[in-house]
């Protein structure tokens, strides 16, 4: 593995979280040693796990990791101890692992977790679509397909496509389209391999980590007069031409006319 690839791997959020957990474990072990040998206080597994989680969350906060890592890192060690105490069959853990693998698939690499949007967001997107002509619209990271299926119903003149890399959400969305007779379609693949020039509107609900690369690709490939929409996540350094708040006191839907 080349040095650049190793550096990129070490900078991946999941790897950073693992490093934080390991560092917090070392600190927790040192604190337990001091507690037991200096003060004579035994630290049982549950308090130790809580200490481990608290230290990990504190390190993540100090490192300014994404906000969702704090609760994940805090609850992971106590949850692991509690689950282990239940003496569940190993096959259950394998089943859970396979389910999560199929659900999140390449989140480790893409840094885009599963984010559902919802009906108010889809209505906001529908209102922003140009009404004077048929459109070709793609939802990148389409999840369970709700946006594509809904928009296909309200804009029958246009073609809506969803692309999803994770196998399970793609399969669910594909089956939903078949069962409902929807004109929407779904591709299983990586949106970074698409040619954005093929679409009039691109809708994204990704993550902060993906926005710079998305903008760079959109600027190069999207045609003049097309529209890029991003729910919740802004593009640093690119002032949006559209800002809509689909849910009261909720995240903003941003738009950029290309």
* Integer Cα distance of 130 and 127 in angstroms: 8
> Which tokens hold the place of 171?
């399969």
Residues counted in the chain: 258
What local confidence, expressed as pLDDT, does residue 217 receive? 96
Helices (H), the chain: 3-11, 13-38, 45-62, 69-85, 90-104, 107-110, 119-128, 146-154, 167-180, 211-221
pLDDT by 10s per residue, the chain, length 258: 444 445 444 555 667 788 999 999 999 999 999 988 888 888 888 999 999 999 999 999 998 876 778 888 899 899 888 877 877 776 766 666 566 555 555 544 445 455 667 899 999 999 999 999 999 999 998 888 999 999 999 999 999 999 988 887 888 899 999 999 999 999 998 899 999 999 999 999 987 778 899 999 999 999 999 999 999 889 999 999 999 999 888 889 999 999
Q: How far apart are CA 55 and CA 61, in angstroms?
A: 10
Q: What is residue 85's predicted lDDT score, i.e. its pLDDT? A: 80
Rounded-to-integer distance, Cα 71 and Cα 35, Å? 26
**Alpha carbon distances (Å) from 27 to 13, 32, 39, 51, 146:** 21, 9, 17, 9, 45
Residue 66, both tokens: 């994404």
Q: How far apart are CA 151 and CA 139, in angstroms?
A: 10
Give the full edge-to-edge strand order of the sheet including 201-204.
Answer: 185-188, 159-164, 136-140, 201-204, 227-231, 253-257, 242-244
- pTM for the structure as a whole: 0.65
Cα dihedral 34, 39, 45, 51 sign: negative
Q: Which residues contact 82 (CB under 8 A, 6 or more apart)?
A: 46
Tell me the C-alpha distance between 97 and 91, whole Å: 10
pLDDT confidence of residue 113? 53
CA distance 103 to 86: 25
pLDDT at 227: 97
CA 41 to chain centre: 42
In degrees and rounded to multiples of 5, residue 215 shows phi and psi of -65, -45
- Which of left, alpha, beta for 166 (phi over 0: left; psi -120 to 50: alpha)? beta
Domain formed by 119-257, architecture: 3-Layer(aba) Sandwich (3.40)
d(CA 196, CA 114): 22
SS3 per-residue string spanning 74-92: HHHHHHHHHHHHCCCCHHH
Task: Return the pLDDT at 5.
Answer: 44
Cα–Cα distance for residue pair 177/168, rounded to 1 Å: 14
CA distance 151 to 153: 5
Please give the pLDDT value at position 10: 53
Q: What is the domain partition of the chain in residue ranges?
A: 3-87, 119-257
């Amino acid at each position: 593995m080349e040095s650049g690839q190793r550096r990129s791997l070490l900078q991946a959020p999941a790897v950073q979280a693992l490093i934080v957990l390991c560092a917090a474990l070392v600190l927790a072990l040192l604190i337990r040693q001091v507690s037991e040998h200096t003060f004579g206080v035994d630290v049982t597994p549950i308090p130790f796990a809580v200490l481990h989680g608290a230290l990990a969350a504190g390190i993540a906060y100090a490192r300014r990791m994404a906000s969702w890592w704090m609760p994940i890192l805090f609850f992971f060690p106590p949850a692991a101890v509690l689950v282990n105490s239940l003496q569940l069959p190993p096959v259950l853990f394998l089943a859970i692992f396979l389910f999560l693998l199929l659900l999140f698939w390449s989140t480790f690499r893409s840094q885009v977790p599963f984010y559902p949007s919802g009906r108010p967001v889809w209505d906001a997107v529908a209102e922003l679509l140009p009404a004077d002509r048929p459109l070709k619209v793609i939802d990148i990271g389409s999840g369970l397909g709700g946006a594509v299926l809904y928009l296909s119903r309200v804009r029958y003149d246009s073609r809506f496509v969803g692309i999803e890399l994770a196998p399970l959400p793609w399969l669910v969305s594909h089956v939903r389209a078949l069962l409902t007779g929807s004109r929407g379609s779904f591709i299983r693949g990586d949106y970074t391999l698409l040619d954005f020039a093929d679409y009039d509107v691109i809708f994204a609900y990704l993550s902060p980590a993906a926005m710079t690369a998305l903008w760079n690709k959109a600027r190069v490939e999207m045609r003049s007069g097309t529209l890029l929409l991003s729910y919740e996540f802004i593009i640093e350094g690119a002032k949006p031409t559209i800002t809509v708040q689909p849910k009261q006191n909720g995240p903003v839907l941003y738009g950029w006319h290309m």
